[in-house]
Amino acid sequence: MDRNGANALIERFVELWNAHDVEGIADLYANSATVRDAANPDKVASGRDGTIARTRMILDGFFDARLELLTRLTDGDLLATKAIHRTHDGEFLGVPGTGQPTENIGASILRVGSDGKIATETAYWDRASFLRQTGVLPAVAEGAASS
């Protein structure tokens, strides 16, 4: 995929995410696509059903989930994005909705196949940051480990 195609894909990806268009998001992935969460690498979402389930899992936890593209890195078929989610009002990672505003900055590496569809995605984000923002983990103490 050339740079223009890659840029168009990532812009469409963000647009569909922010419209919470679960089916539309799934259309961007190949039917055999795999999506891996680096924070939980043994758990892989596979195929259209897996992609839809993963998207719904996130949207169920954050009714106003929104992606903001902070950085765009394109190298052939590779892209990286950053994400910000919002209010945690539903269960996510086993944590019932807290109503807390959350900000999770992460990145995804997307590999795009010759068909122009996403073949693999690996998402990197800080699970501990989410748990801290929702009060599941306490905040890091002031001066902890003396930064």
Partner 1 sequence: MSAENIEIVRTTYQALDKGDLQHIGEQFSEEVEWETPESLPLGGIARGRDAVLGRIAGLLQLWSEFSLEPDEYIDAGERIIVRGVQRAVGPGGASESRYLHVFTLRGGKIVRAEYIADTATAMGALRVHER
Distance from C-alpha of 47 to C-alpha of 104, rounded to nearest angstrom: 25
Least CB distance to partner 1 at residue 48 (A) = 25
Rule CB under 8 A: choose which of 78, 91, 101, 135 binds partner 1.
78
Least CB distance to partner 1 at residue 40 (A) = 8
95 contacts partner 1 (rule: CB under 8 A): no
- For residue 43 the two structure tokens come to 């758990």
42 contacts partner 1 (rule: CB under 8 A): no
146 contacts partner 1 (rule: CB under 8 A): yes
- Neighbouring CB atoms inside 10 A of 74's CB total 17
Distance from C-alpha of 114 to C-alpha of 125, rounded to nearest angstrom: 28
106 contacts partner 1 (rule: CB under 8 A): yes
Rule CB under 8 A: choose which of 80, 110, 112, 118 binds partner 1.
80
Please name which of 101, 111, 108, 100 lies closest in space to residue 125, comparing C-alpha atoms. 108
Fill in the amino acid letter for 117: K
Indicate the residue among 114 and 147 with the shorter CB distance to partner 1.
147
125 contacts partner 1 (rule: CB under 8 A): yes
DSSP symbol at 141: P
